[in-house]
Each structure stands twice: as structure tokens, then as C-alpha cells.
Structure 1
Amino acid sequence: MNASAAGFAGEMLSVGLNVVPFVWAASPAAAELEGVVMDWVGRLLGLPQRLLFSGGGGGVLQGSTCEAVVCTLAAARDRALARLGHAAIMKLVVYASDQTHVTFQKGARLVGIPPSNFRVVPTSAASGYGLAADAVRAAVDRDVARGLVPLYLCATVGTTGLGVVDPVRELGEEARRHGMWLHVDAAYAGSAAICPEFQGYLDGAELADSVSMNPHKWFLTNSDCCCLWVASPRALTSALSTDPEYLKNVGTDGTGNPAAIDYKDWQISLSRRFRAIKLWVVLRRYGAVGLRAHIRRHVAAAKWFERTVAADERFEVVAPRKFSLVCFRLRASFAGDADDVNRELLAAVNASGRAFMTHFVVDGKFVIRLAVGGAMAEMQHVMDVWELLQDKAEDVLQRYRL
């Protein structure tokens, strides 16, 4: 459970008030609070000024990363087609790594990019499974030579499977070279950037056209809540805006105030929830100090777990931990198929009812993932999981020993 009492209270307010702030006039307070909250969170993360309302950019609360991805892909598509003509849509290419969340492939299909024009760039242990700029450059150059048009590049800060961080600055420079839209997906790990020691992972964000982070993952906020910042709100609204006659009389504050935002033009649907209030409650309840303590407590527990696993000769850490996600497995090379052994271990732990972990497959290897992220998770809980793992590992290995 990664929500909180404050998030729960904010969710109740959102539901109970039943405000639907799709246009400014529907609830000026909701629209303006969203802009304030988005700049607050952006400054906490150390985002560049160009992505904030105070610097000419702006932010919106989407329901999920999937929605944010579709919106930014649509904005990138329309920006390119305004220059190339609509017939060129079959030439547009989207780039991501084999560690990037699959939602980007889904989003590309939804905005009309042919599946054959989605490039999954391979990563390897040599690069820490991060997306190397050289690999992107090679893929882009091949496509340009074939007459295709590079459109969109995703850099991930904290990949779903391994928690890997892509080199944002290097990828941003590659995107600039061909006029691609650079999106930084920090859905999980972006929350950690409120701590100064983690802000370096967002180095190069000033080169991004958009950045997203999900407070409902690690920021004590109830689902659904996804922060999306864009450097050019006009690019987003040009692709998503609608102007039917029945909304023309309620689309502004009546004074021509340019600060009045119709958030219906920043998202897929017209109607929307009052998400800003629950994020506002969390920020006011915990503050920067409380939220940083929350993140650091989880990271400290994950560090301990990583060290402990690495010290046990039966286990191996598969990828270096960067946040609160530890990826490990039983070596078990002496006792039959290692993947079978690890599958049994994970099943035994989850069947105990005392802990729940998930898996990933990288380089053909079955990997167990421990994510420390619960609102009430403490070091003792992680230590208890380690004791459970040791007991279950011994039981599983006993059956495989010759």
C-alpha cells in the first residue's frame, strides 16, 4: 500500500466535492490550484524553469503514464506533420529501449504510428541496461538513410523491470540533432528527485520536451495521479484542443485572462477529476522534509537488502540498485536449472502470505524484484523478508541438491 492517510483524505475531497474542472469556468479554484501544485512539484524535483508555468511551460495532472504518453506522442506527431504534411505519418519513427515500458508501443499505435516504425533499441549489461546514445544514433542514422523521419525518443529514469536510469543529457542531445521530441519517463523514480542527492539523474531535463512522474507510485498519493510537464503547452493543446459551440461561452474567465487554463485541451478526455486537491493535501501534510524522509527511509532499507543479498554466496544482485528496487536471484548453478529454482523461490515466498514480490526477465534470466515503497514499510519489514527468503531458499535448494 503506497498511499497515505493524507492521500486518502484528498481522494475523499476529490470524490465528495465532485468538481469536474474541464474548463476554467467550471471551477476556477480547481484549475488554478492544479497550476500551482504542478509548479510546486516541479520545483521540488529540480526541473528546469522552461517546464514550469512560471517559465513558459506548464503542467497537467493526467490519470496515468499511458495517457501522458499518448498526449505527448500526439503533440510530437502534429508538430512534425505541420511541417511535412499529413501523408508523411507513415514515415514517422519512435525510439525507446528494450527496458522502456510497453505503454510507449501502445501509445504509438494509438496515434497512428505504424508498428513497423517503432524501434526497440537493445541494451546490455555493459551499459547497465541503460539506453546508450550511440545505439540510438546508429538506429536513427539507418532510418534517415531510408528516408524515414525520427519523431520521438523516450528516456527513462527508473525503468519498470530493473530501475535503470537512461543518460538523459546524451539522449537529449541526440534528439536535438534530428528535431525529435524527447520525453523523460520518470513515473516511478522521479519522486526520488525531491532529494538533492537524486536530482543528478534528471541532468539534461532542460533538453526535454516533456517529463512525467507518477505521485501514486512513490509519493504517498492515491491513484490515479500522473504529473506531466511540457516545455510548449501550445504544442500539446494544438493536438488535443476542441472548441464546440456549447463551450465557447464558458471557456475563459470572461476577462481574456491568459492565465485561465482549460484543462480539457491538455488531455484525451473532456471531463476530468479534481486530482490537484489530493496532491495538494499530501504536499501540505508532509512538506518537503516529510516526503524526503519517506523516500530516504525506503532507499536505506533497499541499500541494506542489496548489501545483504550480495554477501550471501547463494545469491547474486543482477543490476546495481539506484533507488528502492533490488533485482536479485539465486545462483543455483550447482542445482539444476537456475530459472526453475528462482521461479519456485518466488512462488514459495508469495504463497507464504508474509511478503509479495514480482519478477522480470533480463538476458534470458528470471530475476526476482524487491521494491520497498509501502507507506508504512520500515527496515524491520525488509529484514523480515530477508529471513523469509533464506528459509524458503534453503527449502527449494534442498530439493535440487544432488
Structure 2
Amino acid sequence: MDKDALRHWLHKASDWSADYLESVSERPVRAQGEPGSIYAALPEAPPAEGEPMEAIFKDLDALIMPGMTHWQHPRFFAYFPANSSPPSLVAEYVTAAMAAQCMLWQTAPAASELEARVLEWLRQMIGLPQDFAGVIQDSATSATFAAILTAREKVTGFTGNTKGLCGQAPLRIYASAQTHTSIDKAVRMAGIGSDNLVKVPNGSGPYYAMDTEALEALIEADKEAGLQPAAIVACLGGTSIGACDDIEAVAAVAARHGIFLHVDAAWAGSAMICPEFRDLMRGAELADSFVFNPHKWLFTNFDCTAHYVKDPRALTDTLGMRPPFLRTLGREEGETPGVTDYNEWSVPLGRRFRALKLWFVIRSYGVEALRTKIRNHVAWAQGLAKTIGAAADFEVVTEPILALFTFRYRPRFLKDASDETIDALNARLVERINDDGRIYVTQTTHEGRFAIRFQVGQTSTTARDVEIAWEVIRELAGASKGGIGAS
């Protein structure tokens, strides 16, 4: 492809992208095809000769798009959003054109220094103190893995990387029962073993916080048994129902026992740009490590995770490797002001220029506009929860925490039905909603019972989209006639 052709097809790609975003609300939110249909439609072998771009774009529309679930759809109410925005999209185009490998300061000085500055902005935006230093990771899973590895090394005197864990007292990691399975994965990958991940029960208060008395008792029992407490993971906005631990109380336990504290705020951390929500993160300043995902609720496309640490040296001593071919001669990190080799802060060596899209987003919107979007999402979710709670054939299972709540369909004509029957009924309702295509929701279980999750967070969602969601839910439940319950 020569330069003229490149210019033509970049224009074509930008027009295609703008048209897609303009019309995405007309598509079914979740892919509607049968499993295997896309695979079967693709050639079994690669082309021996190059094909024209016209044919590739034609197949993009004909073969690929019908099999896509549309995360940028304004009625995407499932999971947590992986929301993008126009300035983020533009920055990603630029990033792809440069195709920089930002592993060292010298391989991309501007990328390294922009990352440092933008993460300082972000730290200020969410109210973390200046003794935290940040790095952009690919996901909260990677950041949590890095945190668990750092905790492992600190508690073993930095011998885990050299001598392994054989002969050590078993390490113990403590986490709320509401934490994400990325914690389980990190504990496995760190060689600590899933049997040594202790899930602490949650209370029944408004935020389903970890029971800190139970946490302390578990730690004391483990120490008496000769086990070695290594880290506590506190939850700020759990994936299932939005649970939030009392970080200040958890931090007090961690301090009494000298245990590393990591805060997983993957989703809810973005909402902390709004000062009125920061009571949820009270005590976060006492943590050793804090992570949240701008790619979940700060309008910056995946992947972009902000990972903050109190002790960068502990992180780089855990993850850093400096073979001769990766040295920046005359400008070593820690020896030259302004030089940071972020590959030593992350599990992968290779690094994308992720800071650019975050810079575009913050500068293009400004902090106040970003706050307004998040405040609207929270208000709309809370309004819908009130509406559902007042409806005769529905019930709210967990009240909104920020913009997430859960509910279930419980029609009057089935008032004496068993829990199992109601669970099955709601599972069928979720299938019907997602097969319909106008909105997309997901499910969870709470206290052993099936519940439907609903979160508001997509960039272009409006109050009307939330109203439509309720119309679709009522219609497909058939609340006034029995509907799905009679099937």
C-alpha cells in the first residue's frame, strides 16, 4: 500500500468508524448469530496473494459485524462498560500510526513523561495523596498480580524471586468474598496457591463490606498456626453487586499486623473524580497499592488501567530486569531525574502508548464534564431502581451502589413459588432480554439466589435509554399478563 492508498483507506476507516458510532444504537446490542457461524464463513486457508481493501471492508461488514456485541451501544447495561469516546478513538488512531514500543524512557521519552504527568492528574482527580506514584497497566488483573507479587517479595525479604517459596511458611492472602476472580488468578500465578486465599465474609450493611472482626480473627488464627499473612485485598465496587469495603477499618487491621494492603477499585475508582462519592474510598490513602480502570468508566477505550503504589522501588525490585541490551546508558532510572523505564513497573516488557488517549480524553472533556457524565449515570441508575422497587411484579435485590444495582422479576401470580422456580424464571428472562437485542444485561447470584444486574455507564447513554430499558424489561417479562412466567 503506497502513501496515496494509505491516505484513502485511513479516510475510509475514519468514515466507517464515525458511521458505525452514529448508527450503533440501531443494531442489536448483543451478537445474535449462532456459535460457530462466523468461523464457518471464513476461508479455511489464508490467501496466497494479497486481496483488495474493498473486499476486506466488504467482508468486515458482511461477516464480522453481525457477530459483534456492541460495547459502545447506548443500551449496553451488562458487565461494566468498556466505554470509549471520540477523543479516545482519535488518540488511538494516532497511537497506531506511531506504533511506538514504550518499554524504556529512551525508546519513547514523550510517552514515558506524559504517562508520569497524566497519572499525576488522575491521582489528583480521584483524591489520592501525592505520595502515590502511578503506572498504566493493561488491566486490573495485571495490576493486582503485580501487587500480590510485590507483597510476596516484601514479606519474604525479596527472596521469593531468587529462592522460590519452598521451605517458607505458607503465605496467606485475605480478600473480601465480593472481590473479583482476578484476585484468585493473581494468587495462583504468584505461586501462593488458591488454598491460601482466604475469603473473608461480608456484612449485610448498605455496602456489604468485609467483616473486619472476622478478618482480624482469621489473621490471628493463621499466625498461631505458623502461617505467614502477606496481603489484604480490599474491594471498592465489586463486580457482582458493587460491594465496598470499609477501607479505613481494613487498613487499621493491616497496619496492626504489618500486612501489605491493595485496594481493587477497578470499576468504582473512576467515580471518585466526584468528591461527593469519596466517602466510599475513605482510608485509601493508607493503602500500599490502588488500582482502577479508566477504560471502565472514564471514557477511555480498553486497555488503560491506573495502578498507584506507595513504594515504587518495591514494585521495580519485584518486576524489574536490566539486561545490558535494555540499559539506557548515562540515563539510568533513579539516577537521572525524569527518566522512568516503565517496563520495570509492569509484567510485560513491551508497552503501548496508552497515556496518549487518557491525555486526549481529560483535555478534550475537562474534569467537570467527566464528573457530569458519571453523576448522570448514577442518578439514572438510582432512579430506575426506585421505579423497579415500586413495581408490583418486581423487587430490588441489592440497592444501587453508585450506578449498579440488582433486581428480579417476582410476579404476583407466583407469590408462593419456590426460590428455585423464581431463579429459573429470571434466568429465562435474561435470555429473552438479550436475544431480543434492544438492551443487554447480565446476571449474578446474591445470597444463593439468581439476580439480574443492571449498571449504567456507557458514554452515549441517555436518560431515555434507561427508560427504554425498563419498557423492554416489563414487556418481555409480561408482568401484567403472566408472560414469561406462564411459559
Q: How high is the TM-score relative to the length of structure 2? A: 0.78
**Other structure's SS at 1:321 match:** strand
Q: Using the TM superposition, give the Cα deviation of residue 131 of structure 1 relative to its aligned residue in structure 2, in angstroms.
A: 1.1
1:300-346: CA deviations, max 9, x gaps? Answer: 11011011011112211111212111211123452641101111111
User: Contact between 2:425 and 2:484, CA under 8 Å: does it hold in 1?
Assistant: no
Structure 2 Cα separation of the partners of residues 190 and 202 of structure 1 = 8
Change (3 A) 1:123 1:287: same
**Other structure's SS at 1:177 match:** helix
Structure 1 gap segments, 5+ residues each:
52-57
Q: Using the TM superposition, give the Cα deviation of residue 371 of structure 1 relative to its aligned residue in structure 2, in angstroms.
A: 1.1
Task: State how 1:310-329 maps to structure 2 within 5 Å.
Answer: 310-329=389-408
Cα-Cα RMSD? 2.0
1:262-295: CA deviations, max 9, x gaps? Answer: 1010001111000000110001111101100110
User: Contact between 2:106 and 2:328, CA under 8 Å: does it hold in 1?
Assistant: no
Q: What amino acid maps onto 1:304 in structure 2?
A: G
Change (3 A) 1:88 1:301: farther
Structure 2 Cα separation of the partners of residues 199 and 129 of structure 1 = 17
Is 2:112 aligned against 1:25?
Answer: no
Task: State how 1:337-356 maps to structure 2 within 5 Å.
Answer: 337-356=421-440
Residue of structure 2 equivalent to 1:81: 156
Is 2:482 aligned against 1:397?
Answer: yes
**Other structure's SS at 2:172 match:** strand
Residue of structure 2 equivalent to 1:378: 462
**Other structure's SS at 1:320 match:** strand
Choose the corresponding residue for 2:277, options 198, 212, 232: 198
Structure 1 Cα separation of the partners of residues 257 and 334 of structure 2 = 41
Structure 2 Cα separation of the partners of residues 132 and 16 of structure 1 = 50
Identity over aligned pairs, percent: 37
Is 2:307 aligned against 1:243?
Answer: no
Change (3 A) 1:30 1:198: same
Is 2:334 aligned against 1:259?
Answer: no
User: Contact between 1:355 and 1:385, CA under 8 Å: does it hold in 2?
Assistant: yes
Choose the corresponding residue for 1:9, options 61, 86, 90: 90
Q: Using the TM superposition, give the Cα deviation of residue 87 of structure 1 relative to its aligned residue in structure 2, in angstroms.
A: 4.4
Change (3 A) 1:142 1:32: same
Q: Using the TM superposition, give the Cα deviation of residue 248 of structure 1 relative to its aligned residue in structure 2, in angstroms.
A: 2.3
Residue of structure 1 equivalent to 2:127: 46
Greater mean deviation of Cα atoms: 37-46 or 317-326: 317-326
Q: Using the TM superposition, give the Cα deviation of residue 115 of structure 1 relative to its aligned residue in structure 2, in angstroms.
A: 1.9
Task: State how 1:51-130 maps to structure 2 within 5 Å.
Answer: 51=132, 58-82=133-157, 87=166, 89-126=168-205, 128-130=207-209
User: Contact between 2:177 and 2:201, CA under 8 Å: does it hold in 1?
Assistant: yes
Q: What amino acid maps onto 2:361 in structure 1?
A: V
Residue of structure 2 equivalent to 1:295: 374
**Other structure's SS at 2:156 match:** helix
Change (3 A) 1:77 1:380: same
Residue of structure 1 equivalent to 2:13: none
Residue of structure 2 equivalent to 1:222: 301
**Other structure's SS at 1:59 match:** strand
Structure 1 Cα separation of the partners of residues 329 and 136 of structure 2 = 21
Change (3 A) 1:84 1:139: farther
Q: What amino acid maps onto 2:115 in structure 1?
A: E
Choose the corresponding residue for 1:186, options 265, 268, 275: 265
**Other structure's SS at 1:243 match:** coil
User: Contact between 1:89 and 1:113, CA under 8 Å: does it hold in 2?
Assistant: no
User: Contact between 1:34 and 1:61, CA under 8 Å: does it hold in 2?
Assistant: yes
1:65-91: CA deviations, max 9, x gaps? Answer: 111011111111111111788546442
Change (3 A) 1:149 1:184: same
Choose the corresponding residue for 2:115, options 1, 25, 34: 34
Task: State how 1:273-312 maps to structure 2 within 5 Å.
Answer: 273-312=352-391
User: Contact between 1:158 and 1:186, CA under 8 Å: does it hold in 2?
Assistant: yes
User: Contact between 2:289 and 2:308, CA under 8 Å: does it hold in 1?
Assistant: yes
Q: What amino acid maps onto 2:136 in structure 1?
A: L
Q: What amino acid maps onto 2:250 in structure 1?
A: L
**Other structure's SS at 2:392 match:** coil
Structure 2 Cα separation of the partners of residues 399 and 11 of structure 1 = 44
Q: Using the TM superposition, give the Cα deviation of residue 49 of structure 1 relative to its aligned residue in structure 2, in angstroms.
A: 2.1
Residue of structure 2 equivalent to 1:368: 452
Q: How high is the TM-score relative to the length of structure 1? A: 0.94
Greater mean deviation of Cα atoms: 390-399 or 132-141: 390-399
Structure 1 Cα separation of the partners of residues 374 and 197 of structure 2 = 35
Structure 2 Cα separation of the partners of residues 126 and 201 of structure 1 = 13
**Other structure's SS at 2:454 match:** strand
Residue of structure 2 equivalent to 1:55: none
Structure 2 Cα separation of the partners of residues 184 and 89 of structure 1 = 26
Number of residues of Structure 1 aligned to a counterpart in Structure 2? 396
Q: Using the TM superposition, give the Cα deviation of residue 258 of structure 1 relative to its aligned residue in structure 2, in angstroms.
A: 3.4
